[in-house]
Amino acid sequence: MKRILSQKPLGRMAGLTLLETMFALAIGALVLIGAIIFYVSTKQSANANKIAGDMNGIVAGYQSYFAGGNPSTGGIAMSVIQAAGFLPDPLNTPFGLQYDAKYTPTATSGTLEIDVSGLKPGDTTCAAVTSLVGSSGGTSIPTGGTLGTTTGNCAYTYTL
C-alpha cells in the first residue's frame, strides 16, 4: 500500500511535450533539407565534370583520327570516329543520351561542334561545363541551337 502512495501523480510524470516534439521535427527537417541541397549540388558537379571529360575525349579522338592520316573532309560525324576505334561506342551523356559531334573544315583548319543531348542552355550545368571546358582549352561556346539549330541543347564549338 505504501508503494502506491509514493508514486507521483499523473500530472507530474516526465515525458515529451508537443513543443519539444515539434522542435525535434523542425531540426530533423533542416538537416534533411541540407542533405538534399548537398546531393543536388554534388550531382550537378559530377555531371559537369563527366561532360567536360567526355568532350575533351571527343576532341582528342578527332585529333587522333586526323593525325592517323585520315582525311579531314567536311561533315565527319562522331559515328565515323567511333567506327575507326578512336572513341567508345556508345558514348553517353550523364542523362543516358548520346553526344552528337560534327567536324566541318574551314579554310585554315576546321571546327568541331559537340552537342550535349539532354542539357539545355538555361541549365546551371551548362554554365558549369562552360567554365570547366573553357579553362582547359578550346573555344567552348554554349549556343541555343546546335547541329542544325533545332535541338535546343547546349553545344560547344572547338577549333581544331
Q: What residue segments make up the domains of the chain, in order of their start? A: 25-159
Please, what is the average pLDDT of the chain? 78
| Strand bridging mode 100-105 / 76-77 | antiparallel
Sheet holding 76-77, edge to edge: 76-77, 100-105, 110-116, 154-159
pLDDT grade, residue 26 (50/70/90)? very high
What sign does the CA torsion over 39, 42, 44, 46 have? negative
List Cβ neighbours of 152 (8 Å cut-off, separation of 6 or more): 120, 121, 144, 145, 146
Q: What was the pLDDT predicted at 160?
A: 76
Q: Counting runs of H as helices and runs of E as strands, what totals does the chain give?
A: 4, 4
DSSP state of 144: S
Count other C-beta atoms under 10 Å from residue 147's C-beta: 16
Task: For residue 114, report the phi and psi dihedrals to the nearest 5 degrees.
Answer: -115, 120
High-pLDDT (> 90) share of the chain, %: 16
Range among 25-29, 57-61, 102-106, 107-111 with highest mean pLDDT value: 25-29
The three-class DSSP label of residue 11 is helix
Q: How far apart are CA 96 and CA 134, in angstroms?
A: 24
CA 75 to chain CA mean position, Å? 27
What is the tens place of the pLDDT at every residue in 88-97?
A: 888 888 888 8
**Among all chains, which residue has been given the C-alpha cell 570547366?**
132
Q: What was the pLDDT predicted at 5?
A: 56
Q: What was the pLDDT predicted at 6?
A: 59
Q: What was the pLDDT predicted at 147?
A: 37
Q: What was the pLDDT predicted at 10?
A: 58
Q: What was the pLDDT predicted at 36?
A: 97
pLDDT grade, residue 134 (50/70/90)? low
Q: What was the pLDDT predicted at 110?
A: 80
Q: What was the pLDDT predicted at 106?
A: 76
Flag whether pLDDT at 47 surpasses 80. Answer: yes
Q: How far apart are CA 155 and CA 100, in angstroms?
A: 9
Q: What was the pLDDT predicted at 131?
A: 75
Flag whether pLDDT at 155 surpasses 60. Answer: yes
Comparing CA positions, the residue from 62, 89, 74 lying closest to residue 156 is 62
